A = this chain, B = another copy of it.
Amino acid sequence: MIKVGIVGGTGYTGSELLRLLALHPQVELAAITSRGEVGQPVADMFPALRKRVSIAFSEPTFESLKHCDVVFFATPHGVCMAQAGELVRAGIRVIDLGADFRLKNTTEFERWYGMPHSEPELLKTAVYGLVEAHREAIRSASLVGLAGCYPTAVQLALKPLLVEGAPLIDEQSIVADCKSGVSGAGRKAAVGSLFSEASESFKAYGVSGHRHLPEIEQGLSLISGRPSQLTFTPHLVPMVRGILATVYVRLNEAGQATDLQALYEQHYQDEFFVDVMPKGALPETKWVRGSNYVRLAVHRPQGRNTAVILSTIDNLVKGASGQAVQALNVMFGLPEHTGLEQLALAP
């Protein structure tokens, strides 16, 4: 059994890790920490876990975690950076669901996150945790900076277009119009996330600049080996879970000559969690809710030169905790879908 620790179990990615790990046949939940809740059973805070999860919160110290094989950080940025070094040096593998180890450029990190990066050396060893793109590196990683939710949806939407020898699209004018459920804002009390504010309404946010923009641009370049530029507009949907990315690309001549449907199907044919839907499909977020799948569809409206790729994930599963478990499975040599076989909850 793999001994797992969780730092920061009081948010939605933390509770989602518990939901998934409680049914993972190869995992033992060894510790979960939260400074403010020491001694409280986790199931008191998340009654959905009652009768199945009996562990209580402990102090967020090295002592609590030192017997773990792997530790997940489901914490705000800055927390993992402060604690990961000690764990990694003790031989404990770390998966950060937060943002501390995503951006390779510390200047970019400081610009977007408003704090200096305290572990630049450790950052160099971190592997970017988008499993379908960096599986081999993750296998042996000591430290994984898990991909963000929007970046997961957008990169998987674009990956087949980027890995060919020559570009198929204008990689400098990509538009990613993305929509997320409200759970993406976390479990923090904030007026803008109140039911009475977010319900029955729709809006864009972060239009002038969102932290996932540099992550996506970096990620696309990691995949293609070439720089990319995109316009990224996140929106808030009055639902709890789910992301739909609607990605617009300008096809160049090579792209126009390509059978995009075939390209996507071939590219992802061996991926357990990637579902390239049939031509003309219109994936709905509900079809992945609670599951680790991404469902994709490729369109070329009116036969014009702009292709539209639709990509949907559950932001708390494939966009966070499910992908974290998927990474754990890769890191420990388990079948990638172990503990992740749940189907989407629909309706």
Binds B, one of A47-55, A83-91, A118-126: A47-55
If A283-B203, A284-B202 touch, does A344 touch B48 (CB 8 Å cutoff)?
yes
Contact status B341-A23, CB under 8 Å: yes
Whether, in the assembled complex, A66 has its beta carbon less than 8 Å from a beta carbon of chain B, the answer is no
Among residues of B, the one whose C-beta sits closest to the C-beta of A236 is B284
CB distance from A13 to the nearest CB of B (A): 11
Whole-angstrom distance between the alpha carbons of A213 and B201 in the complex? 24
Contact status A189-B200, CB under 8 Å: no
Sampled A-B contacts (12; CB under 8 Å): A47-B287, A185-B196, A189-B190, A195-B195, A195-B198, A200-B242, A201-B242, A202-B242, A202-B285, A207-B308, A231-B248, A235-B246
Whether, in the assembled complex, A258 has its beta carbon less than 8 Å from a beta carbon of chain B, the answer is no
If A196-B187, A299-B208, A342-B342 touch, does A304 touch B177 (CB 8 Å cutoff)?
no
* Number of identical protomers: 4
Contact status B175-A304, CB under 8 Å: no
Inter-chain contacts of A310 with B (CB < 8 A): 204, 207
Inter-chain contacts of A199 with B (CB < 8 A): 182, 195, 199-200, 238-240, 347
CB distance from A288 to the nearest CB of B (A): 8
How many residues in A have their beta carbons less than 8 Å from beta carbons of B?
88
Contact status B194-A284, CB under 8 Å: no
Inter-chain contacts of A207 with B (CB < 8 A): 282, 299, 301, 308, 310
Contact status A238-B238, CB under 8 Å: yes
Whether, in the assembled complex, A102 has its beta carbon less than 8 Å from a beta carbon of chain B, the answer is no
If A187-B196, A196-B187, A299-B208 touch, does A50 touch B242 (CB 8 Å cutoff)?
no
Whether, in the assembled complex, A229 has its beta carbon less than 8 Å from a beta carbon of chain B, the answer is yes
Whole-angstrom distance between the alpha carbons of A244 and B177 in the complex? 12
CB distance from A198 to the nearest CB of B (A): 4
Within 8 A of B (CB), among A1-53: 12, 15, 19, 22-23, 46-52
Whether, in the assembled complex, A106 has its beta carbon less than 8 Å from a beta carbon of chain B, the answer is no
Option from B23, B175, B203, B288 in Cβ contact (under 8 Å) with A282: B203
Within 8 A of B (CB), among A277-331: 277, 280-291, 293, 295, 299, 301-302, 304, 306, 308, 310, 312
If A194-B193, A194-B194, A238-B237 touch, does A246 touch B204 (CB 8 Å cutoff)?
yes
CB distance from A42 to the nearest CB of B (A): 12
Among residues of B, the one whose C-beta sits closest to the C-beta of A281 is B47
Whole-angstrom distance between the alpha carbons of A50 and B286 in the complex? 13
Whether, in the assembled complex, A116 has its beta carbon less than 8 Å from a beta carbon of chain B, the answer is no
Inter-chain contacts of A194 with B (CB < 8 A): 182, 187, 189, 193-195
Inter-chain contacts of A173 with B (CB < 8 A): 250, 306
Inter-chain contacts of A62 with B (CB < 8 A): none
Contact status B203-A285, CB under 8 Å: yes
CB distance from A269 to the nearest CB of B (A): 12
Given contacts A47-B284, A48-B291, 13 further A-B contacts (CB under 8 A): A50-B277, A51-B272, A173-B250, A181-B200, A187-B196, A187-B197, A189-B190, A195-B195, A196-B347, A201-B289, A202-B285, A231-B248, A231-B308
